[in-house]
Structure 1
Amino acid sequence: MELPTDPGALAPYFDHTLLKPAATEAEIETLCREALDYNFGAVCVHGSRVEVAASFLEGAGQHLAAVVGFPLGATCPDVKAYEARACLAAGASELDVVVNLGWVKDGQWGRIGAELDLLREAADGSCLKLILETCYLTREEKIRLCQMAQGSGWDYVKTSTGFGSGGATLADVTLMRETVGGHLGVKASGGIRSLDDALAFIGAGATRIGASAGVSILQEARQRMGQGR
């Protein structure tokens, strides 16, 4: 995959993220200000912070993502659907949803498929990213979930929440890209902290990078690639 060669081409890959449970409103506003300053592709926050982020970003053309069923994925499907609709009503335009990992391990693929379809309907055309939490999955489970996300009309598959036992790996991103081809986006998230990390994941097939270290990565990019945006 062709790598961005300047900071301006790199910045839109980033979902600038703040998902710490104790994050304050002031920190959310700082997150949004940084996203605008650096021209990141999106901001990603908890559902209860969507309204304040949407208010701050109003009219800026910035994508706003909210997490759903986060970080464990074990919420009932109807609750996830309600949460999805509430986040969209508050101003989110994208949803990052954690798959039910217990159902994956039980092999309850029919229930997972029904949940994916329910959430696709609840999202009413908005961008949906399925968080696989790859650190807990076998190769076969990762492939099947990617195929199911594609079959249910989702937009992205995503590696991790950042709250599991491991984050994104190049092997997982490569596998996910090979599985979905050019049909879905692939979001690498969890433990991406340097410019070299980001470029490696993009090279492996990631089209989005979820990171809380976006500012330091872009600052590093400006030093190494030049000052352009």
Structure 2
Amino acid sequence: MQGEGSSIITSTREFAVAVDASVLFANATPDDIRKLCDMVQKWGFNVCVNSVYVQFASELLKALGVSVELAATVGFPFGASSTAAKVAEAKLAVNQGATEVDMVLSIGQLRGGQHQAVQDDIQAVASVVHDNGGKALKVIIETCYLTDEEKIIACHLLTEAGADFIKTSTGYGTAGAAVKDIRLFRNHVGPQVKVKAAGGIRTLEQSMALMEAGACRLGIGAGHAEKIIKEWGAAH
């Protein structure tokens, strides 16, 4: 998996499918989701929305004839929901059309050394996602709050729990995606676990650096995603 990223991207389409265009802000309206789906129809990005908008986004994408991955956030943005609540939210999201789930790890329990509880939390959500037809569970560990040792522990826990991706950030913490963390992830997650970089991605240069480090998916706010793909197209 090391190096999976920009080195294999040869077209605007390939760049688009490596991006989850996201609308996750607290005051997002249905019109914001509508604009997101219209943009996705044009460029071919994947979609990431809060779970309240999954069914709406799914219906919009179908009406537009667009077939992309639709991700729903779970336990977002703090990861402090109970496992039962995360499981229920994930199951509903998949049943409403989400193909992927981006859940937030129980950050406080990880920092408090409750590692089995963290693994069990992830495993429960992974099971409900996979058992209900979801393609992927991404686990957000919110790197800005963790030491490198805690990040490594998170890598091991989510690998054992059956996660499909590790993801850097929610975009609501004190910092976002960093190349050093992508490299750390690639060295410590299992070979089957992919890496998603998210949080604070604003430029093409930053996007390429993260992908060169080993990220195969980027979570980018919708407005920045369109700006970056236009920049990529102009450069190629």
Give the match for residue 233 of structure 2. Answer: 222
Q: Please, which moves more after superposition, 161-170 or 124-133?
A: 124-133
CA distance in 1 between counterparts of 2:163 and 2:93 reads 17
Give the aligned CA root-mean-square deviation in angstroms: 1.2
Structure 1 runs of 4+ with >4 Å offset: none
State the partner residue of 2:70: 64
Please report how far the alpha carbon of residue 147 of structure 1 lies from its aligned counterpart in structure 2 after TM superposition. 1.3
1:66 to partner: Cα distance: 0.3
| Contact residue 3 and residue 202 of structure 1 kept, 8 A | no
Q: Quick check: 2:120–2:161 contact (8 Å CA) kept in 1? A: no
Aligned-residue offset at 1:48: 0.6
How many residue pairs were aligned?
224
Whether contact under 8 Å (1:159, 1:189) holds in the other structure is yes
Cα distance in structure 1, aligned partners of 2:110 and 2:162: 19
Q: Which residue of 2 aligns with 1:151?
A: 160
Structure 1 contact 16–214 (Cα < 8 Å) conserved = yes
- Tell me how far apart the structure 1 counterparts of residues 200 and 122 of structure 2 sit (CA, whole Å): 26
**Displacement of 1:221 after TM fit?**
0.9
Q: Secondary structure at the match of 2:25?
A: coil
Q: State TM-score, norm by structure 1.
A: 0.94
Secondary structure at 1:161 match in 2: coil
Select which of 14, 21, 42 maps to 2:19: 14
SS in 2 for 1:116: helix
Structure 2: unaligned runs, 5 residues or longer:
none
1:155-208 CA distances to partner (integer Å, 9 max, x unpaired)?
000000000011000000110011125321100000111111111100000010
Identity %: 38
Distance 1:17 1:168 in 2: 15
C-alpha distance 133-214 of structure 1, shift in aligned 2 (>3 A): same
Answer with 26-35 or 117-126: which moved more: 117-126
Q: Does 1:185 align with 2:170?
A: no
| Residue number in structure 2 paired with 1:34 | 39
**CA distance in 2: counterparts of 1:198 and 1:165, whole angstroms:** 19
Displacement of 1:3: 4.7
Q: Distance in 1 between matches of 2:182 and 2:164?
A: 15
CA contact (8 A) 2:47 2:69 kept: yes
Unaligned runs of 5+ in 1: none
Q: 1:149 to 1:181 in 2, by over 3 A?
A: closer
1:55-74 Cα distance to aligned partner (Å, 9 max, x none): 01115221100000000000
Q: Taking structure 2 as the reference length, what is the TM-score of the superposition?
A: 0.92
Q: Which residue of 2 aligns with 1:117?
A: 123
